[in-house]
Structure 1
Amino acid sequence: MKKILHPLRFAATGLLLIYATSCKKENYDDITVPDVPLVTTTGNVNPADSIGTLKALTAASFPNMGMAITANSMLAGSPYLATVKAQANNITFGNELKEGSVVSTNGTYNYTTADNLYNICANNGLQVFGHTLVWHSQQSATYLNSLIAPIVTAPVLTNVLVNGGFETVSGTTISNWSVYNSPASFSSTTAANEVRSGTRALKVAVAAPVQPYQVQITSDLFNTTVGTNYTMTFYMKAASAGGRMRISTGTTAQYSADYNITTDWAPYTFTFPAKDAQTRVYFDMGYVANTYFVDDVTVTGPAVGSGSVEQTPAQKAAAIENEMKRYITTTMQRYAGKIKAWDVVNEAFVNNGQLRTNTNYTIPTANTTNEFLYGPYIGTKYDNNNYILKAFQYAKAADPTALRFINDYNLETSKAKVDSMKALVMFINSKGALVDGLGTQMHVAYNTTRTGIDYAFKTLASTGLKIRISELDVIANTARSATYVPSVTIPSLQADMYKYIVQSYLKNVPAAQRYGITVWGVADTDSWLNTAAAPDVPLLFDKNFKKKVTFSGFIQGLK
């Protein structure tokens, strides 16, 4: 068996050239394709049988005919948009709602591109399928890893000033502060609108303008290290506009610039080098007649001490689970009532049917900024801490009206994987009606074994849940050759495969369980399989958006 590498692996080699207008495919694992043809053309596909549109011709068999799209292709008046609008009624965003497209490296969310694309779809009568909420690829891995990084213990800033909040008084005297040269009124106020924090603040009423140092209150002396910078921070406001004051120090005098004080609490700072072994700070407030309020004064020297502490497994689990919940909840609630079905979890399994963990899957070095595994932190055992179970619980809570799907690839080529998919959803739904449907991606080759396709549909349908073909395409260039040119028989073989998949879907999935089929792309030129390193023609429309014989095969499968 051969395997097809994910396009981002091609990108790492510098060979990816066309993805500016393509749907980046998900899995970094490999898509399995046979080494040699297993079937020959049946001659049952009539190339002329292509009259009509996909959405009209499929309507009697299943409700949703879909295509995968990207934002920069859906341009008004373009043949791309015209084709999508004519052929489909259900759209999957190729990239725009993946976590890595929304979440920045600092954890902020930006839905601008997704919102714009949704509006284009809605304005053209296209329902959107949400793809995808929890996945290991195309993540903001830099941000996710920052949540579980060692906790840095910041250097400690020591406040050398005593009673900077003016909370301690003795009668009418404010402890640790002295009034000099003062024709003004100094007092400790407890009025709620005159206190920033705590229960008290300093109130200074300047009756008439004098020299700034003639209205002055000073702190006690505090020890300093000569030559070291100290920063004084204080909060201040004035009763009326036009307030003005400054800070000075002693023993050796130093002066700040003048501060213009507003009528709202605001922070002010003054940094000065220590010139003596001890100093004090002065509020010089005689410039203008006004009433001033001062609170939360600190003087800090150089920060001392730093380091880092590794987070515990419980701390890491909580951090990752909280972020998973935040993305699910924020995204689903943003589009509640608009997007009515979601891939809640995508590609949870490796090919042998095990849930993907850091013991059976290694993130490629080139992808450390865009791949992240949730399971190893939250849990992959089939218990109440299973990350997939939690994802579906959070999704149901976020939008109970939306349908919730789980999606994966190679289900038609790995019996172990499709069996594990069934077992997983049965476990999850034993905890409540959480999973509504299963998606099988169906990235197949023209020569993929048909018994595996049948087995996949039968197994998935046996869950009783809705079944969708979520990302259908048919690979022609199975050798992934850079010089590939399709032989004359390949289009018929691809058409046969499209026909067989549709027939098997209709035969093995009861009508009530058929959610629909989505083709992964529109024209061959925007397929994730079509690269400079390995050209391919896997879709239903050619580069000019003309129907191919594969379109005829798809349609004949319906008959």
Structure 2
Amino acid sequence: MTESTAAFIIDQQVVDAPIFKNIKQLNMRHYNKMLLGSMVALAMASCADDSKLEFDVEKPETVAIMEEINKYEPLKSYVNRAENPQFKLGVGASLADYNAKGLIYRLINHNFDEMTMGYEMKHASIVQADGSLKLNDVNDLIATAKEAGVTVFGHTLCWHSGQNAAYLNSLIAPEILSEPAGPTWDEVAGVNFESDAASNYSVNANAIASFTADGEGADGKGRALKVTNEAVRTNEWDAQFYFSFGLSMVEGEQYELTMDVKADEAVNINTQAQVSPGNYKHWDFFGAIPATTQWTEFKKVYTVTASTATSGAIALNLGKFATSVYFDNIVLKKYNEGGSVASGPISAGYAYWFENPTAGNFWSCQIKYPLTGIQGSKDYTLKFAAKATVAGKIRAELQTSGVWTSSSFGQFDVPTEWKEFELKVQNTEAGRDGLIFSFGDYAGKVFIDNVSLTADGSSTNLVADSDFENGIGSWAGWGGSSTRGLSAEGEGFGGMGIPIREKTPEEKREIIDTALKTFISGMVTNCKDYITAWDVVNEPMSDWPDPSQLKTGVGKTVADDEFFWQDYMGKDYAVQAIKYAREFGNEDDLLFINDYGLEGADQKKCKGLIDYIAYVESKGVKVDGIGTQMHVTLGVTSIEGIRDMLTNLAATGKLVKISELDMGIRPEGASENLKTSELTDDQHRAMGAFYKEIIDAYFELVPASQRYGITLWSAQDSPAKSSWRADEPIGLWNAKFERKHAYTGVADGLK
């Protein structure tokens, strides 16, 4: 296509924009100059030869095609308003593009009655981090549309995607009961020297032990122990004071030693690890203990090393100074796994680990915990803590041995620091006999701790060996080998540091119900003066395994903007959404439930949606219409399925709206849809013919009184970087605002 012909091919509705008028004028001037030059050249040639010259230049085929397409009037002019008084021809739009009053604004105003925002009226766009509603852009849209005489269809009030999930999840997060109190330690041994009966301290032959007078202890009231070395010895360990604690320390354990100490002269007292008093183990234990002439408290946390493992006593070396040292309130504590710190998860107790050196298929490396009594059609909750040496993804499932079918909890990201997980799945088959963690496609080492598997309605943990504090048992439990086993003590999960209380399902239901009411009431009240039709509930039905059931997030890896209201509010979530839309909107607002994939050949999803709407209405609310998203593909989607769907929807007696019609194309035998640049003119014509066939079926099968309208989901072809059907020819116009055969197909269907 040459520059001189471009202005004649662009849709006349867009040419009305000033920028294109200027282009057209420039091109016409360029064309006139070319024409004048040609005439001069022709005249000069006639001087050389007065014989008649005849020229027959054939019009380019692309120009001829576009001229035929551009003879069509604006799309909305083809709607027979007498026969379809309430019918609205709509289009999906971007709020920002329309409010800018540019080319899209002009195209929509010329061709459509109504528009639906693709994203900007959804929960995530409106609800802010604090729960407030940001409606300025929506109000600007309403004002712009009202001025142009284009209606706005409200989309959407309750959906699982496009949600401010971070805010919603914060509402149902566990309740913080109190501020963290710091690490919690179990006392192993202690002595305050108030009783002569204590036997866990002693001295060697060169040290003299005695008690101070009452009132000379660290607290100024009781007594303390006085240990005297009368002469400087050859070695510091020639005079020692022992404090024993009667256990054999294990590598990785953490201990906290505290004591009150002073001396007649300032000294630093080195420590030794000993298996028992006088039985040397290692030269350093808790480091040096400083003592001044005033009582001071010494406190230090020590992690047991391989060199100090099996220690049962600490020796304080006094041999290098001739003085007296005073001790009081000596306490040794071991870190308690139930304790926590405010800074986040910490290590404590034992964990279970499994390792895969090289990534492959996810099922090539698995651990299994055997289960019995797993029920079908039952929700199960899996909780655990996990961390990894290398961040990566693993997955969990309930599996049936032999046939290897499973109900998956989904794939999840394991970070390098401890993280708590709560995953859910609806188990589809009774007799599952194993909890499986699959990590064959992950390379690294994973630790898990505090595993809990419970059935819905029960608090019984089906995993007996769940915290690994009593080992891992045989392979009938968790099992061990060179690639899996029990961690060292101290490597387990110790908690998140803040005492919490999980909200009950009833509390969560009430909280989420209130959040839904707040959003719907705010949106509908704000928009009711202009928006009188709403997509209230969007995409309620499942895709797999049973499209007759509600969609759920249980067992799935949920995206950051996904929040499944139905998982908290139950089957009546749509009842509540419709009730709130009716309560806060206009009395005669039209309220729709909308879904995709209803044109499937088996009609299971379509019939499931119709049954669900019947259930919703049985609860005392009215659904005015059903929206069918038709993201069809020529070569895949059958007209028979579309006709069956329209017949079934029409039989409900409700308004029927084709809510998001767009089209891709896939040649026979291909596995992927064609990209825009790959289409031939014949394929474009075939897409136009399919549009006509679909719209013809709508007008044939849906009675006039039930025809709310048809919304084309994309005016233009999808850009290559789009998140929706990227680089596919889904528009009625191409990226340059040139009409396509799809335009004529829609127009012919509307006639």
TM interval, shorter chain, is 0.5 to 0.7
Tell me by how many angstroms 1:56 deviates: 1.7
Q: 1: CA distance between counterparts of 2:720 and 2:538?
A: 20
Equivalent AA in structure 2 for residue 461 of structure 1? A
Q: 2: CA distance between counterparts of 1:66 and 1:483?
A: 23
Q: 1: CA distance between counterparts of 2:155 and 2:519?
A: 13
The alignment partner of 1:131 has SS state of strand
Match for residue 104 of structure 2? 80
2:552 paired with 1:357: yes
**CA deviation profile, 1:196-223 (whole Å, cap 9, x unmatched):** xxxxxxxxxxxxxxxxxxxxxxxxxxxx
2:293 paired with 1:106: no
**CA deviation profile, 1:1-30 (whole Å, cap 9, x unmatched):** xxxxxxxxxxxxxxxxxxxxxxxxxxxxxx
Match for residue 143 of structure 1? 167
Q: 1: CA distance between counterparts of 2:626 and 2:513?
A: 23
2:532 paired with 1:343: no
Query: Quick check: 2:177–2:499 contact (8 Å CA) kept in 1?
Result: yes
**CA deviation profile, 1:49-76 (whole Å, cap 9, x unmatched):** 8521122212435420101111221255
Query: Quick check: 1:471–1:519 contact (8 Å CA) kept in 2?
Result: yes
Q: 2: CA distance between counterparts of 1:528 and 1:539?
A: 15
2:629 paired with 1:441: yes
Query: Quick check: 2:75–2:112 contact (8 Å CA) kept in 1?
Result: yes
Equivalent AA in structure 2 for residue 362 of structure 1? K
Q: 1: CA distance between counterparts of 2:131 and 2:513?
A: 14
Match for residue 392 of structure 1? 578
Which of the numbers 606, 626, 635 marks the counterpart of 1:418? 606
Tell me by how many angstroms 1:529 deviates: 6.5
Equivalent AA in structure 1 for residue 712 of structure 2? V
Query: Quick check: 1:529–1:536 contact (8 Å CA) kept in 2?
Result: no
Tell me by how many angstroms 1:149 deviates: 0.7
Compared CA separation, residues 69 and 425, structure 1 to 2 (3 A): same
Query: Quick check: 2:69–2:739 contact (8 Å CA) kept in 1?
Result: no
Tell me by how many angstroms 1:558 deviates: 2.8
Match for residue 9 of structure 1? none
1:29-178 → structure 2 map (5 Å cutoff): 48=69, 51-60=72-81, 62=84, 63-74=87-98, 76-155=100-179
Structure 2 length as normaliser, TM-score?
A: 0.45
Tell me by how many angstroms 1:402 deviates: 1.3
2:522 paired with 1:498: no
Q: 2: CA distance between counterparts of 1:527 and 1:417?
A: 31
Compared CA separation, residues 374 and 530, structure 1 to 2 (3 A): closer
2:507 paired with 1:320: no
Tell me by how many angstroms 1:77 deviates: 4.9
Q: 1: CA distance between counterparts of 2:536 and 2:557?
A: 21
Tell me by how many angstroms 1:429 deviates: 2.1
Q: 2: CA distance between counterparts of 1:405 and 1:493?
A: 32
- Residue ranges of structure 2 left out of the alignment (5+ in a row): 1-66, 182-341, 343-496
Query: Quick check: 1:524–1:540 contact (8 Å CA) kept in 2?
Result: yes
Tell me by how many angstroms 1:543 deviates: 1.6
1:7-46 → structure 2 map (5 Å cutoff): none
Tell me by how many angstroms 1:528 deviates: 9.0
Compared CA separation, residues 47 and 529, structure 1 to 2 (3 A): farther
Compared CA separation, residues 325 and 530, structure 1 to 2 (3 A): closer
Compared CA separation, residues 311 and 439, structure 1 to 2 (3 A): same
Compared CA separation, residues 310 and 493, structure 1 to 2 (3 A): same
The alignment partner of 2:681 has SS state of coil
Q: 1: CA distance between counterparts of 2:526 and 2:651?
A: 33
Q: 1: CA distance between counterparts of 2:723 and 2:681?
A: 19
Match for residue 453 of structure 1? 642
Tell me by how many angstroms 1:308 deviates: 1.1
Greater Rg over alpha carbons, structure: 2
Tell me by how many angstroms 1:481 deviates: 6.1
Equivalent AA in structure 2 for residue 402 of structure 1? D
Query: Quick check: 1:80–1:545 contact (8 Å CA) kept in 2?
Result: no
Q: 1: CA distance between counterparts of 2:113 and 2:674?
A: 35
Query: Quick check: 2:113–2:151 contact (8 Å CA) kept in 1?
Result: yes
Q: Once structures 1 and 2 are overlaid, which stretch shifts more, 72-81 or 331-340? A: 72-81
Q: 1: CA distance between counterparts of 2:511 and 2:165?
A: 13
Which of the numbers 615, 619, 622 marks the counterpart of 1:427? 615
Tell me by how many angstroms 1:432 deviates: 3.3
The alignment partner of 1:130 has SS state of strand
Identity, % of aligned pairs?
33
- Residue ranges of structure 1 left out of the alignment (5+ in a row): 1-45, 158-302, 381-385
Compared CA separation, residues 65 and 503, structure 1 to 2 (3 A): same
Compared CA separation, residues 102 and 56, structure 1 to 2 (3 A): same
Q: Once structures 1 and 2 are overlaid, which stretch shifts more, 403-412 or 480-489? A: 480-489
Tell me by how many angstroms 1:524 deviates: 1.4
RCO higher in 1 or 2 (8 Å CA, sep ≥ 6)?
1
The alignment partner of 2:620 has SS state of coil
Query: Quick check: 1:68–1:521 contact (8 Å CA) kept in 2?
Result: yes
The alignment partner of 1:119 has SS state of helix
Equivalent AA in structure 1 for residue 608 of structure 2? S
1:267-416 → structure 2 map (5 Å cutoff): 307-351=499-543, 352-359=547-554, 362-364=556-558, 367=559, 369-380=560-571, 386-399=572-585, 400-413=587-600, 415-416=603-604
Tell me by how many angstroms 1:437 deviates: 0.3
The alignment partner of 1:356 has SS state of coil
Tell me by how many angstroms 1:515 deviates: 0.2
Which of the numbers 651, 674, 689 marks the counterpart of 1:462? 651
Compared CA separation, residues 155 and 81, structure 1 to 2 (3 A): same
Tell me by how many angstroms 1:425 deviates: 1.4
Q: 1: CA distance between counterparts of 2:624 and 2:689?
A: 31
Structure 1 length as normaliser, TM-score?
A: 0.60
The alignment partner of 1:379 has SS state of helix
Which of the numbers 707, 715, 723 marks the counterpart of 1:514? 707
Compared CA separation, residues 379 and 528, structure 1 to 2 (3 A): farther
Q: 2: CA distance between counterparts of 1:440 and 1:340?
A: 19
Tell me by how many angstroms 1:433 deviates: 4.9
